[in-house]
Structure 1
Amino acid sequence: MSDDFIHFAFTLGDGSAPLHGSDSIAAALQEETCAWVHLQADDPRSDDWIDAHLDYLPEAVRDALIADATRPRTSAVGDGVLLNVRGVNLNEGEDPEDMISVRIWADPARIVTLTRRPLRSVEHMRDLFAAGEGPATAGRFLAVLVEELTERIGSVVTEMDVDADALEDRLLRGEENGLGPRITDSRAAVVDFRRFLVPQREAIARLHGVTGPLLSEDDRFELQEAEDNLRRHTEVIESLRERLLVLKDEIASLSDARLNRNLYILSVVSAVFLPLGFLTGLMGINLAGMPGASWPPAFWVFTGALGALTLVLLALLWRWGVIRLRRASTRP
């Protein structure tokens, strides 16, 4: 059986080194020295490998690692912890808010992670180990990974905040054309982010409260900082949701005002041309006895009368406040 469902594996500590081969990796995970393996979550071979080589883990933990659907959570089991968190999707051609789940089992002797799609934060951890700069303990691994996930989330949230500022600026400058779809897309992204950020913050809060030998005081401090940052990012997302809702309402208000203005203009035009249309229709019925039918100047007299009537109607509409002359702007 090919081992390509195993993406990479490393030992932790001073003698950190890459591991190759299914049996070697399985043996390293049973040693007292900590080791890390990263698997493909949606590959059936990962399920079989976990059942065959990690049968010492509780069955509930093994099932959770390969579950189809996950939400951010933390569950302490003995000296270990089962952690599901999400990272922003920075893969080419995909949306950052389509967050990628990473399932983690960590105890003092082993770390098992699984993802369905490539995740930059996990790749960053791999690069640290490849460069000989990886964390030395499982607790430190969790702290660094969570910090990396949170930092990338923060970068995307900042970009979303800047985009919202740009939308507000365009609206204030009267450039509302085309803003509707962009606001809708931004609101959808905010909803997707919020759906996972709130439970992720709670999961990290539970993680740094886990007792036992897994986490050092420094690890707990780093996780507390990550939780604080996630709380701040969540507050920004909440603010963005409200701001985008206000922008949506403002766009709708401007659209309604434009529609009402157009209807108003049509009403004024109808008020002017309705009597004119009636008169021209009446004079055009082409029946015997029409006044002026044999008088050559009749057409011009009738046209002048219509013009005079138009002026009278406009004067009346202006006097009644229905129409107003727009003053020229005095700005340079």
Structure 2
Amino acid sequence: MIVDCALYVGGGREHGVTDVAAALAEARSAGGFVWIGLFQPTVAEFEDLASSFALPQLAVDDAIRAHQRPKLERYGDITFMVVKPVRYVDREEIIEVSELAIFLAEHYVITVRHGVSDVPAHVREEYEHDTPLLSHGPAGVVYRSLDLVVDGYLEVVDAIEDDVDEIEEQVFGGARGDHAERIYKLKREVLEFRRAVVPLVTPLQRLHDGDVPWVGADARPYFRDIHDHALRAADAIEAHDNLLTNVLQADLAQVSVEQNRVAVRQNEDMRKISAWAAIALVPTAIAGIYGMNFDNMPELHTRYGYYVVLGVIAAACVGLHALFRRNHWL
């Protein structure tokens, strides 16, 4: 449940922690902070930790259940955040969304991870090498975590842009086939991506506006930079979604035109078949009549009847052929 727990004092990591309550007391006396990282804790596993740090129950429930939208909530001196790191699987053209809940207070920061994400581990590795961000205390952990998350958004935006360009080339470059399924699937992934990015803009605004305790004035410019990057990602997502909508409509229009072209060609073929069938019906009908083998048929004994019948058949077939040609059936 607890991936790592350490005490940070004076710009560096002091030692690992086994007794979180004692570590919190030490952090308060030494002017440092405790960083506890958890991975998909259960209610029972989180209960002791929530009690030791007096975490608000509503925030604890959200951190355990996951599947929350990005947000920032204040509970007195405790700030609770939810962010959604993402990564793009290019081979499958899907966006994998994980979740990171953060509790921020004066002397501790608690991160709760759900899903696959290397953000907490990467930030902790940087802190192991004495980064200047440690001077900002827990706010530095929050900043660097959000910075990596939003940088991941921009990477996914670039990957989606490459796929959108490829789809455009296929649709408008003359490639045959129905691309609607791929376009719709990518639009669905973009929608999921938007749910991770757009709601985060307002919490970032609050962070650099000074609406969050324990985020000092010297740390706010960092959050302003993240806010700008998040806005850029949100704008790019909106543009990609609109472009995919237009490409989908164009693809459906091309499919519809192709289907109409096929239908017209089939109608022409059916007219030709019907015309030749009508021409063939004349000799068939006449031959059928004379093939009934009745004795009392006066035409059977006519001297030139055979030639007359052949002439009638030929005249009828030629007349029908000319009629159909004039009506563009042949």
Please state which band the TM-score falls in when normalised by the shorter chain. Answer: 0.7 to 0.9
- SS where residue 288 of structure 1 aligns? helix
Contact 2:5 2:16 in 1 (8 A): yes
Matched, 1:313 2:308: no
Identify the range of structure 1 (165-174 vs 9-18) with the bigger mean alpha-carbon deviation.
9-18
Identify the range of structure 1 (222-231 vs 83-92) with the bigger mean alpha-carbon deviation.
83-92
Provide the C-alpha distance between the structure 2 equivalents of 1:120 and 1:91, rounded to a whole number of angstroms.
15
Provide the C-alpha distance between the structure 1 equivalents of 2:124 and 2:172, rounded to a whole number of angstroms.
46
Q: What residue is the counterpart of 1:10 in the other structure? A: 6
Contact 1:10 1:129 in 2 (8 A): no
Contact 1:72 1:86 in 2 (8 A): yes
Q: How does 1:114-133 map to 2 (within 5 A)?
A: 114-133=112-131
Provide the C-alpha distance between the structure 2 equivalents of 1:263 and 1:46, rounded to a whole number of angstroms.
65
- Greater strand content: 2
Q: What residue is the counterpart of 1:34 in the other structure? A: 33
How big is the shift at 1:93?
9.1
Provide the C-alpha distance between the structure 1 equivalents of 2:283 and 2:48, rounded to a whole number of angstroms.
95
- SS where residue 16 of structure 1 aligns? strand
Q: Quick one: which of 96, 99, 102 aligns to 2:97?
A: 99
How big is the shift at 1:36?
0.4
Provide the C-alpha distance between the structure 2 equivalents of 1:91 and 1:238, rounded to a whole number of angstroms.
20
When normalised by structure 1's length, the TM-score is: 0.81
- The runs of 4+ residues in structure 1 deviating greater than 4 Å are 90-96, 298-312
Counterpart of 1:10, as a letter, is A
Contact 2:6 2:16 in 1 (8 A): yes
- SS where residue 13 of structure 2 aligns? coil
Q: Number of residue pairs matched?
A: 311
How big is the shift at 1:268?
1.9
Structure 1: 5+ residue runs without aligned partners?
324-332
Q: What residue is the counterpart of 1:326 in the other structure? A: none
From the superposition, tell whether residues 191 and 91 of structure 1 become closer, same or farther in structure 2 (CA, over 3 Å).
Answer: closer
Contact 1:79 1:107 in 2 (8 A): yes
Counterpart of 2:264, as a letter, is Y
Q: Deviations over 1:43-72 (max 9, x none)?
A: 344322323432x33334433432443111
Q: What residue is the counterpart of 2:47 in the other structure? A: 48
Structure 2: 5+ residue runs without aligned partners?
292-298
- Greater helix content: 2
Q: What residue is the counterpart of 1:264 in the other structure? A: 264
When normalised by structure 2's length, the TM-score is: 0.81
Paired-residue identity, %: 18
- SS where residue 7 of structure 1 aligns? strand
Q: What residue is the counterpart of 1:183 in the other structure? A: 183
Q: What residue is the counterpart of 2:155 in the other structure? A: 155
Q: What residue is the counterpart of 2:56 in the other structure? A: 58
Provide the C-alpha distance between the structure 1 equivalents of 2:193 and 2:143, rounded to a whole number of angstroms.
22
Contact 1:111 1:138 in 2 (8 A): yes
